[in-house]
Amino acid sequence: MNTTVADTGTDEKTWGGGKEPLKASYGKLMMWFFITSDALTFTGFLASYGFSRFKFAEIWPIADDVFTHVPFIHGNYPMIFVAFMTFILIMSSVTMVLAVDAGHKMDKAKTTIYMFLTVIGGFIFLSSQAYEWTTFIKGEYGAVGTHGGNIIHFVDTDGNRVALKDFAIGEPKERTQHLGKNGLWFTSESSLPSYTFDEVVAGFEANENILVKTTYTDKETGHKTILSRNESLKELKTKGKNVVEGANLIQNEYGPPLFANYFFFITGFHGFHVSIGVLLNIIIFFNVILGTYERRGSYEMVEKVGLYWHFVDLVWVFVFTFFYLV
């Protein structure tokens, strides 16, 4: 004897199963399962970052000293651009809500418009993140690495950062990059810095108004410690080792290597999610234009992709809080 769902009397119960358990379609449930598992992944990454951040709190870079760039504008504007990125992503979540609402009303025209705006918001965010990565990798000021693995920054007497190019004295001699193919494999260099360590030292000695700012945080002021002129000379000559420009996975001008490692991994992993979201939104956008969901009689696909997009936006709020604000 064949038993159907109706025969068991479970189709009217919330936990009874049937075609739509919890009054949600199979597709929605699977999206929620994916979001839950992905949320746990991001939680693990952010928790790991938090442990490292507070373990090395004394030497961890201050976000206001690192993320100061704004496209086409020269100057020091801490966190302005990151705040712009966050605003754009949140607004794209708003347009997605409007697209879902229009889909529920079977309004093809409005759904098309709001999906288009959501895609544009995603592209702006990804472009902004590409710019942020570029400036982070390239660097602006440069620094000196120490034998102990720390970083030495340079400031003027007012505490403002000074770039190596503003005081280093270049020497008219040819420098050769060490490569594994023409030398010892363990001396290979990724690229030559703009200045040698000796050129930085010579320029520092010639400019008495330049001081050294260490990576150690003053517990009273919350800012990095700035040494006196004599202490600065001693710090540079006795502990300085090499010139560092920009950031990579081995060394960066901002502080401990872990900082750059977490930055590339966490923001890159989130950026990958945003890229997938933009691709899905583009597919849904064209399906809306082609009338696919009108023929089906349901715009549920817009809602399912919307769930993913809201998740990506929510994760960024946590990344922004943990990485940039704390």
* Domain match, 107 and 156 both: no
Q: Can you give the pLDDT at residue 108?
A: 95
What integer pLDDT is reported at residue 10 of this predicted model?
Answer: 46
| Domain-terminating residue out of 212, 245, 278 | 245
Mean local confidence (pLDDT), 181-206: 75
- Per-residue pLDDT tens over the stretch 18-45: 555 566 787 888 899 999 999 999 999 9
Same domain, 152 and 296: no
- What CATH number should be reported for the domain holding residue 80? 1.20.120.80
pLDDT confidence bin for 177, thresholds 50/70/90? low
- Residue 214 and residue 296 share a domain: no
For residue 20, is it within any domain?
Answer: no
The pTM for the full model equals 0.84
Give the bridge partners for 145, in sequence order: 151, 242
User: Treating both helix axes as pointing N-terminal to C-terminal, what angle do 268-290 and 26-55 enclose, rounded to 10 degrees?
Assistant: 160
Indicate whether 46 and 125 sit together in one domain. Answer: yes
174/110 same-domain check:
no
Provide DSSP, 228-271.
-HHHHHHHHHHHEEEEE-SB-SS-BTTB-HHHHHHIIIIIHHHH
Write b or e for each residue in 172-192: b if 16 or more Cβ atoms lie within 10 A of its Cβ, otherwise e.
eeeeeeeeeeeeeeeeeeeee
Domain boundary residue, one of 191, 210, 245:
245
Q: What is the mean pLDDT of residues 223-228?
A: 91
Report yes or no on 12 lying in a domain: no
Characterise 168 by phi-psi region: left (phi > 0), alpha (psi -120 to 50), beta (else): beta
Q: Which residue, 223, 245, 267, sits at the end of a domain?
A: 245
| pLDDT at residue 171 tops 90 | no
Q: How many helices (H) and strands (E) does the chain have?
A: 11, 5
Q: Does 3 map to a domain?
A: no
- Same-domain status, 135 and 267: yes
Q: Residues 123, 91: one domain?
A: yes
Give the three-class secondary structure for 10.
coil
Q: Per-residue pLDDT for 160 more than 50? A: yes
Are 310 and 225 within one domain?
no
Extract the runs of DSSP E, i.e. beta strands, from 147-186: 151-156
Query: Does residue 172 carry a pLDDT above 70?
Result: no
Confidence of residue 1 (pLDDT cuts 50, 70, 90): very low
Give the closest residue to 274 by CA, choosing from 133, 127, 131, 137: 127
Domain count, the chain: 2
Q: Are both 281 and 238 inside the same structural domain? A: no
Which helix (H) or strand (E) element contains residue 217? strand 210-217
Domain containing 311 equals 42-139+259-325
Residue 156 counted as domain residue: yes
In-domain check, residue 14: no
pLDDT band at 4 (very low <50, low <70, confident <90, very high): very low
Q: What is the pLDDT of residues 121-133, one digit of tens each?
A: 999 999 999 999 9
132 and 155: one domain?
Answer: no
Identify the CA nearest to 263 among candidates 163, 135, 71: 135
Residue 8 has pLDDT above 80, yes or no: no
User: Over 90: is that where the pLDDT of 3 sits?
Assistant: no
Same domain, residue pair 317 and 268 = yes
Q: In this structure, are 75 and 117 located in the same domain?
A: yes
Q: CB neighbours (10 Å) of residue 158?
A: 6
